[in-house]
């Protein structure tokens, strides 16, 4: 594995067909829908088509999704994504997911370190940004401790059940 996409603990790699069941489990965990825009379950067929059609070409698809895996056993522990990639302005939205049983071990920060270096040194991005609900304090703390700055609050930005929640927009210049 390239040193650019790995450290002593974890690696970032392309999605593989063997990730189907893991993605199916994670994408259909309704507890996670509160931090994503998911409103309905995904079928295995829909995820299989996504995997089949996914090229990993950030310029063509305006996104890049990488699996975060443990170097100890190769097991998937999460995903990290570029969304809304804007090559003209050299920026992308970032998404990060760490499986519940792997949280609290510093793996999210390590994945951010790897992707930030990749963003700057390989893709040539100038900035990354994230949207995080204000009540998601663990995630806010992770990104702020990593060096992201709050640049705005979007009021009543996301609907959760019958209520709307404010969201922080955080940005990191690379």
Nearest to 158 by CA among 148, 147, 167, 168: 167
Q: Which long-range contacts (CB under 8 A, 24 or more apart) does 43-52 make?
A: 44/20, 47/20, 47/23, 48/17, 48/20, 51/15, 51/16, 51/17, 51/19, 51/20, 51/23, 52/17
pTM, entire model = 0.92
* Residue-wise pLDDT tens digits, 27-85: 888 777 777 777 788 899 989 998 888 888 899 899 999 999 999 999 999 999 999 99
Provide the CATH topology of domain 3-124: Aminopeptidase (3.40.630)
DSSP 3-state assignment of 169?
strand
């Amino acid at each position: 594995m390239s040193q650019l996409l790995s450290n002593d603990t974890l690696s970032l790699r392309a999605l593989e067909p063997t990730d189907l069941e893991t993605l199916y489990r994670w994408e259909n965990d309704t507890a996670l829908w509160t931090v994503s825009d998911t409103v309905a379950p995904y079928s295995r067929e829909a995820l299989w088509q996504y995997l089949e059609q996914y090229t990993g070409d950030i310029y063509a698809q305006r996104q890049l999704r990488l699996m975060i895996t443990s170097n100890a056993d190769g097991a998937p522990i999460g995903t990290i994504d570029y969304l809304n990639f804007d090559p003209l302005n050299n920026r992308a939205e970032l998404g990060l997911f760490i499986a519940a049983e792997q949280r609290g071990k510093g793996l999210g920060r390590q994945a951010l370190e790897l992707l930030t270096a990749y963003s700057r040194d390989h893709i040539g991005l100038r900035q990354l940004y994230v949207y995080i609900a204000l009540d998601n304090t663990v995630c806010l703390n992770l990104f702020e401790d990593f060096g992201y700055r709050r640049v705005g609050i979007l009021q009543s930005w996301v609907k959760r059940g019958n209520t709307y929640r404010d969201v922080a927009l955080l940005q990191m210049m690379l």
